[in-house]
Copies of this chain bind each other. A is one copy, B any other.
């Protein structure tokens, strides 16, 4: 991938992947861009434009081969590789993530759980023991960690992110209520649940009118 592709395009790719997966489950082998467009509520030209960023995958008059397109988008999204994930902060949200089997099907494997609360030490979620955060430096020496999910309070997020970077973990899936854009050599995906709730609130207020 030589050219820079906008994050708006990237944001739509998982959705294509999801719909194509459902089509595959339903036994659909090929689909026209018009049909794909109508089930996804995206214009056919948007779909063509998006996919053309990666070379395009359709054939004039044939449409898309669902399996092929699904596999190619999977590769674009890096899903042909397994990602080892640790979760830091094993409250309800951390547990929800540790328990979400769907992620494993996509190649995201939970390999470690960490917290600072001694009461959690040695407890398990899906047979994975909860370790104390101070054990993290030892842990990464023997286990490859590709992604750290941060489900911890905002005030601890930045220090933990800096520590992760120094330990060679360079991707964070961040649920803490703070943007982590300043951490050096770190790929960050922020999931701000309050932000999404506020966007919903806006749309409720403006739907009524």
Residues of A within 8 A of B (CB): 1, 7-8, 10-11, 13-15, 17-18, 41, 76-79, 81, 83, 91-93, 95-97, 99-100, 102-103, 106, 108, 146-147, 170-171, 173, 177, 179, 181, 187, 189, 191-207, 209
Contacts and interface: CB of A to CB of B under 8 A. Distances in A.
Contact of A92 (B95, B198, B206): B95
Contacts of A207: 170-171, 187
Given A1-B209, A91-B96, A96-B96, A173 B202 contact: no
A46 B193 CA distance: 23
Contacts of A93: 92-93, 96
A141 B100 CA distance: 34
Nearest to A75: B205
Nearest to A195: B14
B78 A194 contact: no
**Which 10 A-B pairs give the minimum distances between C-beta atoms?**
A92-B96, A78-B205, A14-B195, A189-B200, A14-B198, A93-B96, A78-B201, A92-B95, A77-B198, A187-B203
B83 A13 contact: no
Nearest to A172: B200
A77 B173 contact: no
B76 A202 contact: yes
25 contacts: A1-B206, A8-B8, A11-B195, A13-B198, A14-B192, A14-B198, A14-B199, A15-B179, A15-B192, A18-B194, A41-B181, A77-B199, A91-B99, A92-B95, A93-B93, A97-B193, A106-B197, A147-B200, A170-B204, A171-B204, A173-B197, A187-B203, A189-B197, A189-B200, A191-B191
